[in-house]
Homo-oligomer: A and B are copies of this chain.
Amino acid sequence: DIAPGARVVVSTDTSAEDVHFRAGWFDPAEVGWRAATSALSDLAAMAARPLGLVLAASVPPRWRDALPEIGDGIGDAAAAVSCPIVGGDLTGGRDLVLTVTVVGEAEHPVSRGGAHVGDALYVTGRLGGPRRALEALLRGALPDAADRARFARPRARLAEARWLAAHGARALVDLSDGLVADAGHIAAASGCDLAIDPHAVPRVGGATVDEALRGGEEYELICAAPPTLEARAFTATFGLELTRIGAVVAASPGGPRVVIADGGGRVDLPGGYDHFTR
């Protein structure tokens, strides 16, 4: 049952072998975990509470034995955010295609478009791990274990997003395409520039600034909120860093954009993360 006045939100996300990942990179449970987390993270971006998840799977013969493990991974990711699995549809095919659709309710939905000039910009967690793991895998190397864990078992920040919405966040996005690209969604929707101090962006050990700014599939959150946001209370609640990385400022003459304010200079930095095959 839905709380009166709440909105129902829905999002769908497909994970396909050789488009979104390669078979050797993950075990089947991780493939399932990531597919579910990618969809659930869309609900986090709306500060929604998950109501249910449905899976549609196209499964070629070579993946059939792995299906129970894939299902376990999806189930674990859903259970981690208290989301019931409410349905599914299984079919054959030549490619492994997992389509996860999630339904949620948003009592106080937060869009990308609510940032105000004067707001501060925050990010959860530490960035760069998934990008470092991907780079290692693409050059045939073994990723660092911590980087690999961030890549293979990312967390959808659902409770964290609802906390942020309840504590003043005015614009929110999940970090799936890369910090600069996803911050750009807030800038465009809000009609403001986002000025990011690259050295303030928290990084995992060993990550460069560029890896932290451009790496995708983090599933951390970026939010714009008044600078009074109680970051320490957030960290005390979730055991997760919430770091101020910049500010919302008036839009540039050429239109809203993300500006990397590096040591006093301003560097426009477009672009973000591309899937490895594109």
Chain A contacts to B: CB under 8 angstroms: 1-2, 4-8, 10-14, 16, 19-20, 51-52, 54-56, 58, 86-89, 91-95, 97, 99, 101, 103, 105, 277
Contacts and interface: CB of A to CB of B under 8 A. Distances in A.
A157 to B, nearest CB: 20
Contacts of A91: 14, 16, 19-20, 97
A51 to B, nearest CB: 6
Contacts of A10: 10, 52, 54, 86-87, 101, 103
B16 A93 contact: yes
B14 A56 contact: yes
Given A1-B7, A6-B2, A92-B19, A56 B12 contact: yes
A55 B95 contact: no
Given A12-B88, A94-B94, 11 more contacts: A1-B7, A8-B51, A10-B52, A11-B54, A12-B56, A14-B99, A16-B58, A54-B101, A58-B95, A93-B95, A97-B97
A58 B14 contact: yes
A202 B103 CA distance: 38
20 contacts: A8-B8, A8-B52, A8-B103, A8-B105, A12-B55, A12-B89, A13-B56, A14-B56, A14-B58, A14-B99, A16-B58, A19-B93, A56-B99, A58-B58, A91-B97, A93-B95, A94-B94, A94-B95, A95-B97, A103-B103
A238 to B, nearest CB: 27
A71 to B, nearest CB: 15
Nearest to A11: B87
Nearest to A88: B12
